[in-house]
Amino acid sequence: MNRKEQIRNAYKLTGGHAGFYDGMMTYSTIPGKAVCRIVWNMDGEKNLRYIEKALSGVPEDFAGRLLEVPVGTGVLTMPVYRELKEVDITCLDYSPDMIAVARQRAVTAGIDNIAFVQGDVGALPFEDESFDIVLSMNGFHAFPDKEAAYRETYRVLKKGGTFCGCFYVQKGNARTDWFIRHLYQPKGFFTAPYETKESLQKRLSAMYEAAEVTAVEGMACFRCTK
């Protein structure tokens, strides 16, 4: 199964009963599609495009150690991990409830090369330079201490390793910015300050040997080499 199919099939791992969050992430339920279109100005094609870009730093034939932070419910990544048999996967999240859902999803998908850790991205419980890939999807706009998160994800990555993923950036879409400021932030889903695509490119280029940032509406996708 190729990567596009893996992502497209993500909704199937919800067993056809995606909750609101999973339905939104996988563009698979009526309320989820409405949020994607109204808040993010994304249809199914754009949604698929940003997820594919975010995951493009994880080769389909990858073998090595991968850290995902934050894993959330694992709805976007478990379909991908199902095909990565040669990878030693570690998934970290602050929320035990999110981890419980992701763990159950891994069991259902028959993934056994995976470990789940409850923890804080700002103080990762891992040795320096211990992962070949650090994947971070939709996390940095939620993390309260972003500087610590940038520092820690860099610290645990091996030299030559890949840091990749995606998160919200401001000024990509004015309507998205309005919803973030007036709804997501007051509810505590997102935490300021936010990057722009340009500020993120500048930051990552200064930290990493190579860094590429692209954007789909208000979602930036990044891929860096340490």
Ligand X SMILES: C[S@@+](CC[C@H](N)C(=O)[O-])C[C@H]1O[C@@H](n2cnc3c(N)ncnc32)[C@H](O)[C@@H]1O
Interface residues with ligand X (CB under 6 A)?
Answer: 25, 69-72, 75-76, 93-95, 98, 120-122, 137-139, 142-143
Closest distance between ligand X and the C-beta of residue 220, in Å? Answer: 14
In angstroms, the CA 42 to CA 176 distance is 10
Closest distance between ligand X and the C-beta of residue 69, in Å? Answer: 6
Closest distance between ligand X and the C-beta of residue 105, in Å? Answer: 11
Query: For residues 56 and 205, which CB has a smaller minimum distance to ligand X in the complex?
Result: 56
Query: For residues 160 and 195, which CB has a smaller minimum distance to ligand X in the complex?
Result: 195
Whether a cis peptide bond, with omega within 30° of 0, leads into 96 is no
| Residue least distant from ligand X (Cβ) | 72
Query: For residues 32 and 161, which CB has a smaller minimum distance to ligand X in the complex?
Result: 32
Closest distance between ligand X and the C-beta of residue 141, in Å? Answer: 8
Computed on alpha carbons and rounded to an integer, the radius of gyration of the chain in Å comes to 16
Query: For residues 191 and 202, which CB has a smaller minimum distance to ligand X in the complex?
Result: 191
Closest distance between ligand X and the C-beta of residue 95, in Å? Answer: 3
Query: For residues 71 and 224, which CB has a smaller minimum distance to ligand X in the complex?
Result: 71
